[in-house]
């Protein structure tokens, strides 16, 4: 349980869901209620279950507003690394409609592919520096062999991060909730120092858990920084859009091993 403003909040489970109740219908009636072949195939396998059990439906995150910065060639700041699609930022501005992923693939995937091919054509094979390889080796050995006072499964860290982000970093946010989320993420990060990995799958999960923690902290800090409401970012303590002060991008960059925040003007398109 979490405690915020004297109220206890559920740490697991979905509280604010919509009940989807088809229990008054037979399996045949349920399947026949959907005209689209897509929905027939989607609902069909579950028609027996839907006729006897109610479903709890809640919103879920399908896209991260923001991401890796790219230019018109889909280049990133890392030489030879190109990004396209949902990992890249700045394509849709402050909002993004569901279903646009295919458009991104067709347009930016093609650009990134062509540019990466041209880069590879005129480049020599890269060399992995021993320092980076040693760092990776040390990380794997630490996950597998280090004696720790307690052991934390990477999957637990991942679930804890998901729970915090789902509760406090949804589209509707507040200063109080975001600060609370950051405090909880700090505690999760401390627990993450006890992660272990007994097999290759857990090593992958541990790496993913670390990345999820980093991203969660960046999202929460950026949301706390932006003192306005814009697109899918709604602050209940700053409900208005403020173009005078906040018509700009929040950019977080790694500078000497620390996350630094800076602001950059938006790139306005031309007609």
Q: How confident is the chain (271 residues) per 10-residue block, as mean pLDDT?
A: 45 63 82 69 74 79 82 92 88 80 88 96 82 77 71 92 91 94 96 87 91 93 95 94 94 84 76 38
Q: Looking at the domain assignment, is residue 131 inside a domain?
A: no
Tokens of 26: 């037979």
Q: Is 168 part of a structural domain of the chain?
A: yes
What CATH number does the domain containing 214 carry?
A: 1.20.58.100
- 90 belongs to a structural domain: yes
191 domain-assigned: yes
Taking the model in full, what pTM does it have? Answer: 0.76
49 with 69, same domain? no
**C-beta separation of 83 from 74 below 8 A:** yes
Q: Are residues 195 and 244 in the same domain?
A: yes
Q: What is the pLDDT of residue 268?
A: 64
- pLDDT at site 133: 76
Question: How many domains is the chain partitioned into structurally?
Answer: 3
Question: Contact 31/43 with Cβ under 8 angstroms?
Answer: yes
Q: Is 261 helix (H, G, I), strand (E, B) or coil?
A: strand
Its domain, for residue 114, covers 64-122
Same domain, 43 and 76: no
Check residue 55 and give its pLDDT.
80
CA distance 72 to 160: 37
Same domain assignment for residues 162 and 259:
yes
Between β-strands 7-9 and 18-20, what pairing exists: parallel, antiparallel or unpaired? unpaired
7 within some domain = no
Same domain, 52 and 68: no
Domain assignment present for residue 139? The answer is no
Residue 212 lies in a domain: yes
10 within some domain = no
Q: Please state at what angle helix 175-192 crosses helix 154-168, rounded to 10 degrees.
A: 180
What the block records as the tokens of 134 is 């040693």
173, 243: one domain: yes
């Amino acid at each position: 349980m979490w405690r915020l403003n004297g109220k206890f909040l559920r740490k697991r489970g979905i509280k604010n869901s919509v009940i989807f109740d088809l229990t008054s219908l037979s399996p045949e009636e349920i399947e026949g209620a959907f005209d689209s072949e897509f929905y027939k195939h989607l609902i069909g396998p579950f028609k027996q279950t839907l006729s006897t059990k109610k479903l709890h439906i809640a919103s879920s995150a399908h896209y991260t507003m923001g991401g890796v910065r790219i230019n018109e060639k889909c280049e990133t700041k890392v030489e030879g690394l190109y990004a396209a699609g949902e990992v890249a930022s700045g394509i849709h501005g402050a909002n993004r409609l569901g279903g646009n992923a295919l458009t991104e693939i067709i347009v930016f995937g093609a650009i990134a592919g062509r540019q990466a091919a041209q880069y590879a054509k005129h480049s020599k094979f890269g060399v992995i520096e021993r320092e980076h390889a040693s760092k990776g080796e040390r990380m794997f050995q630490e996950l597998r062999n280090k004696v720790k006072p307690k052991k934390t499964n990477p999957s637990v860290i991942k679930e804890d991060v998901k729970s915090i982000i789902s509760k406090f970093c949804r589209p509707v946010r507040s200063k109080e909730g975001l600060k609370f989320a950051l405090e909880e993420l700090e505690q999760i990060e401390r627990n993450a120092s006890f992660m272990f990995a007994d097999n290759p799958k857990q090593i992958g999960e541990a790496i993913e858990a670390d990345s999820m923690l980093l991203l969660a902290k960046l999202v929460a800090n950026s949301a706390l920084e932006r003192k306005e409401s814009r697109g899918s970012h709604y602050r209940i303590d700053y409900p208005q859009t403020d173009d005078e002060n906040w018509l700009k991008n929040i950019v977080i960059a790694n500078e000497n091993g620390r996350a630094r925040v800076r602001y950059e003007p938006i790139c306005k398109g031309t007609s």
